Structures are given as structure tokens and as C-alpha cells.
Structure 1
Amino acid sequence: MRRRLAALLLTLAAPLAAADAPLLTSHLRIHDPFVVAEQASATYWLFSKNDPAVTGDPRIGIMAYASSDLAHWQKPKLVFALPKDVWADDGGWAPEVHRWKGRYYLFATFHNDKAAIPVSGKRPNYRRATLLAVADRVDGPYHLIHKGEPVTGPDAMTLDGTLHVDPAGKPWMVYAHEWLQMGIGTMEALPLKDDLLPAGKPQLLFRANEADWVIGQKQPEGDMGYVTDGPSFIAPKAAPC
């Protein structure tokens, strides 16, 4: 289970009956899961890349499991399907759902390895980015915003975008700039407007090789690779009185 599994703990209703939630956590077929605790329905929603074997839907997209106790789960349903008329044709990695301005926004990484972009290193580069979709309900259905174009731009090979709202109430998308393009992967933050369009240029947070404990991986092309992946923000604990 991916290290970015996030769950907001809250008091929920009694567990669903076994007939309504027949799956145990160990039964789940998931990749890069993300959990949202919805207080209104006293339900945990676990989002992951769609698996046609469990949803019965062959489309590329995102599925969601529902639970009242994080132990017993309903069968998943498809909450977002990637349209066929956008630039991406595969993916569904690292989905996250965040509430913003009264609606629910899905962030998920998609790609198209046939859509080449300018090469800046020793490896072929192609379009990969976090797409944004919106819904009125946490369980969807979600629909792409910005006509399916990523906010990071078509020539940036990025992934794993997450929403961060700063103390001033301004939204940012924090993401990993792919090491495949950069050689040394980075974490970057893009300021956003209220409609989640870019409000400025990306800001570099750090490079993957900056910590003294980091060890790169020798690549077939002869260089060293330094990977960034899966940014996530954790609110700091208040200092003791």
C-alpha cells in the first residue's frame, strides 16, 4: 500500500452489514490509494486507478471504494472515466480528491507515451501530467476542467499533483517534476487562481539529490537518476505551551 495513503479519522456510524460491505481491506485491488473521510455521509472513500476486473468497466479512469470503518468495503464503482478526445490515453496514477470552494476536485496523473515532447536529457520524453476534474459529490461523477489540459503546461513531464491551500487561503498544486525529463527530479509548487488555473510560474521546492543521505541510481544511459514522487503535506503539530 502506497506511503501516501491518507485518512482523516473521525467518528463514524456502525459498520455496514457484511452483505452491503463484503470486502475486507486485504481484499482490495488498489494502486496509489487516497482516502477521503466525508462527514456528511459518515463514509470513507478510497480512490485508486480503475481496475476493470473489479468494477466491470473497461475504461481508463478512477474507481472508489466506500466504507464506514476502514475495514469493511463496498464493491468499487468508476467515478471518473478518461474521455477519448483528450491528449492522454493511459494512466490514472495517484488520484487525490480535495474539497475546494464547495465542490470536489480530483487530481490524477495520466500520460501518452506516443506524444513526444522536447528532450532535455538522455531519455525519450513524452506527455505526462496531473489532470483536474470536478464533481458536486465526493463519489462523482467527475468531469475534466480546463478542457483536459494540465496546469503545468504541455512540455513539462510531471506527476502526482496535490492541492495545498496556504495560510492566506490561496491554492497551490505541488507536484513532482519527473526525473526522466530532469535527470534530477524536483518537487515544485505552482500558484493557482480560485478556478485552479495557473496564477504564476512554478516555484522550485527542492531537488532529489540535495539531502546528504540520498543515493542515486545508475541508469542504462550512464548517468545517475534521482527520483521525486508523491508529494504530500502534513500539518505541523502545535508547539507545546
Structure 2
Amino acid sequence: MNYKRAFFLLAFILLNLTPAFPQNREPVVRKDVPLDSIRLSDPFILADQRTSMYYMTGTGGMLWKSKDLKKWTGPYKVVKTDPDSWMGRNPMIWAAELHAYKGKYYYFATFTNRDVKIDTVRGNAIERRASHILVSDKPEGPYVPMQDPVYLPADKPTLDGTFWVDKDGKPYMVYCYEWLQNWNGTIEKIELKPDLSGSVGEGKLLFRASDSPWSKERDEAGNVVPNKVTDGPWLFYTQTGKLGMLWTSWVHNIYTQGVANSESGTLDGPWIHEKEPITPPDYGHGMMFRTFQGKLLMAVHSHREDAKGRYIRIPQLFEVDDSGDKLLVGKNLRH
């Protein structure tokens, strides 16, 4: 995927998400909606033991809920941002995640203020975008801001923040530093305060997009080079105790998900990338959860473009075996 095509696709997402999910507009709630009838990028499912309910969120800032993963009710508006903050009155919301931690629920998401430009790189204006965390006492929200107005540097576009408690017992946000500015996307970590209300210190590099052996694109001269995109990190332990990370990029125009493994068993790595992608082509931005019956599933979205070049993304569930040192992805539960 060359950079001109990437800019076009990103611009299309931005233009089409903005009118679809304004915060001052109440969504129409539907019941008994099959999973494959929901269009949603970056799906994330929290299996909440306290309520015996599955909660699904993702890009767009809305929430769906289900008792059985088959029929869903939603979407519900669950986010209350501060219009006087850097996010502005109506931020775009990408890749939201829900994490239960120490008796509260935390909403990790990417917020974009399209009215603020932080940089111009290669003739392209970069909007104010950053990973951030909100909090609620209930999984269905509302999720509201905490103490710190900023978690990550204001002059860097960051996205797809996820949550991890490392072996040192400290909580961290793992996130992407977007390729639009650095032209070689990275995945980084930053320590969080014990109550997740802010960050501590500065971010630290884990790996770069160019470290991947499987992601590919053509440069302006037509040479095949590593793809510059890092997307959707998700941390996990296998049952043998190995620390791994799902993350997504592209193989030319194919949306693709791979795995990196930490040799030290901590976020500090070094991170060694598996040579081949872990999911079929055109599936990505994955996360994993256990059902109330104990089955490990991976939630991803399928990716395709229609005749007009518009993204079509639908949540999908795959069975996963984590009993060995490496994940084995099984059948798609849609089939």
C-alpha cells in the first residue's frame, strides 16, 4: 500500500465517521442484532463476570451488549468527554477498549480533534490525535475524564492504546506512534499512575513497523519495502507463560495481522516477530477474551472495500488455542 493510497483511505474513514457518531446525537438502539449484521472497526469484547454480560465497543464510541455473543443490543452512547479539553466538542473516537481494573472500568480509546493541526509532514496536515483513558463504575458507563488532561505528548499523533500490567506490577499503556508523522510507525509503552488517572515519565520504544518480516508495500521507486503502519497492539500470555503481542499492518493492499513475542517475557522485549501472519488475509486489529464457558476467542474485524472504495468492516470471532508457546488460530465461528 503506497502512501498516497493510505492517505486516501484514512481520509475516507475520517469523513465518514464524523457524521455517523456525533456525541450530541442519541443512537437508535436495536435488539437481537446478529454479530455479522453489525458494521464495526476494531471490535473489542469485555466478558464481564460481575454482570455476566459481554460488552463490545470499537471505533465510533458506541457500546453493544450480549448474553451469548450471537444476538446483540445497541448501540449505546457511553462516553462523556470534556468539550473544554484538547479533544474539543465532538472528537472522533477510534479503537475503544474496556478494561476492568481494581473495581472500576476503564475506557482506552483514540480521540481526534479535527480542528487542531499539530504538524505538516510531506505536505499533509496532521490532526491532534492521542490515546487517552476514561473511567466508570459500571461497564456500560458513562465513561468520564480523570485527573490528567494529557497522557501522551501533544505534538505526537498516537493511537490504539491498550492496557497491560507487566511483571514489575506496574500498569502501562501500549500504543502506536502513528506513521503519518514519523514515516515508520512504532509501538511504544508508557507507565500509568496506579489508578490509571495519568501517565508517568515518557514513552519507550518497543519496536518499529520496519522490524516486521511480513508487512510489505512499494516505495515511490517501486521497490518492495516493509510497510510503515503499526496498528492495534494487544498483549497476551500463552498458557506456557510466553508473552506475545498481536498487531496489524498491511501486505500491500491486504490488511494483515501478525504476532511478536518478547524474549524477556516483559514489555521491554526484545520483540521477535513471527515470520508469517497469524490470521487469514483481510482480518485484523485483534484482541482475545475467554467466554463464560472458558473458551478462548479472538475478536477481529474483516476488511474489504466496496465498488466505491469504501471500507466494509464487520466483527468476526475465531477460536484460539494458546496451550503452547505460540497461538494457533482455529475456525471462524461465523461459518
Query: Is it true that 1:184 corresponds to 2:194 in the alignment?
Result: no
Structure 1 residues without counterparts, runs of 5 or longer = 1-19, 51-61
Tell me if the contact between 2:121 and 2:180 (Cα under 8 Å) persists in the aligned partners: no
Q: 1:21 to 1:119 in 2, by over 3 A?
A: closer
Tell me if the contact between 1:209 and 1:216 (Cα under 8 Å) persists in the aligned partners: no
Tell me the residue number matched to 1:78.
77
What do residues 184-206 of structure 1 show as CA deviations (whole Å, max 9, x unaligned)? 00000011221322222211000
- Once the two structures are TM-superposed, the CA of residue 217 in structure 1 deviates from its matched residue by 4.6
* TM-score, normalised with respect to structure 2: 0.57
Tell me if the contact between 1:184 and 1:227 (Cα under 8 Å) persists in the aligned partners: yes
Tell me the residue number matched to 2:257.
none
- Once the two structures are TM-superposed, the CA of residue 66 in structure 1 deviates from its matched residue by 1.1
- Once the two structures are TM-superposed, the CA of residue 175 in structure 1 deviates from its matched residue by 0.3
- 1:68 partner letter: K
- 2:58 partner letter: S
Q: 1:103 to 1:30 in 2, by over 3 A?
A: same
Q: 1:173 to 1:155 in 2, by over 3 A?
A: same
- 1:30 partner letter: L
Structure 2 residues without counterparts, runs of 5 or longer = 1-29, 242-323, 325-335
Tell me if the contact between 1:163 and 1:174 (Cα under 8 Å) persists in the aligned partners: yes
Look up the SS of the partner of 1:26 in the other structure: helix
Q: 1:113 to 1:79 in 2, by over 3 A?
A: closer
Tell me the residue number matched to 1:64.
63
Q: Cα RMSD between the aligned structures?
A: 2.4
Q: 1:218 to 1:43 in 2, by over 3 A?
A: same
Look up the SS of the partner of 1:200 in the other structure: strand
Structure-to-structure mapping, 1:1-241, within 5 angstroms: 21-50=31-60, 62-88=61-87, 89-119=90-120, 123-146=124-147, 149-196=149-196, 197-218=198-219, 226-238=228-240
Q: 1:140 to 1:208 in 2, by over 3 A?
A: same
- Once the two structures are TM-superposed, the CA of residue 144 in structure 1 deviates from its matched residue by 1.3
- 2:115 partner letter: K
- Once the two structures are TM-superposed, the CA of residue 76 in structure 1 deviates from its matched residue by 2.4
- 1:213 partner letter: W
Flag as ranges the 4+ runs of structure 1 deviating above 3 A: 118-123, 216-219
Tell me if the contact between 2:96 and 2:107 (Cα under 8 Å) persists in the aligned partners: yes
- Once the two structures are TM-superposed, the CA of residue 236 in structure 1 deviates from its matched residue by 2.2
- 2:154 partner letter: P
CA distance in 2, matches of 1:218, 1:162: 30
- 2:84 partner letter: D
Tell me if the contact between 1:165 and 1:172 (Cα under 8 Å) persists in the aligned partners: yes
Shifted more, 154-163 versus 194-203: the winner is 194-203
Tell me if the contact between 2:114 and 2:128 (Cα under 8 Å) persists in the aligned partners: yes
- Once the two structures are TM-superposed, the CA of residue 63 in structure 1 deviates from its matched residue by 1.6
Q: 1:214 to 1:49 in 2, by over 3 A?
A: closer
Tell me if the contact between 1:217 and 1:226 (Cα under 8 Å) persists in the aligned partners: no
Task: Give aligned-pair identity as a percent.
Answer: 37
* TM-score, normalised with respect to structure 1: 0.77
Q: 1:76 to 1:211 in 2, by over 3 A?
A: closer
CA distance in 2, matches of 1:186, 1:102: 32
Q: 1:66 to 1:187 in 2, by over 3 A?
A: same
CA distance in 2, matches of 1:22, 1:211: 41
Look up the SS of the partner of 1:227 in the other structure: coil
- 1:76 partner letter: P
CA distance in 2, matches of 1:125, 1:212: 28
- Once the two structures are TM-superposed, the CA of residue 210 in structure 1 deviates from its matched residue by 1.5
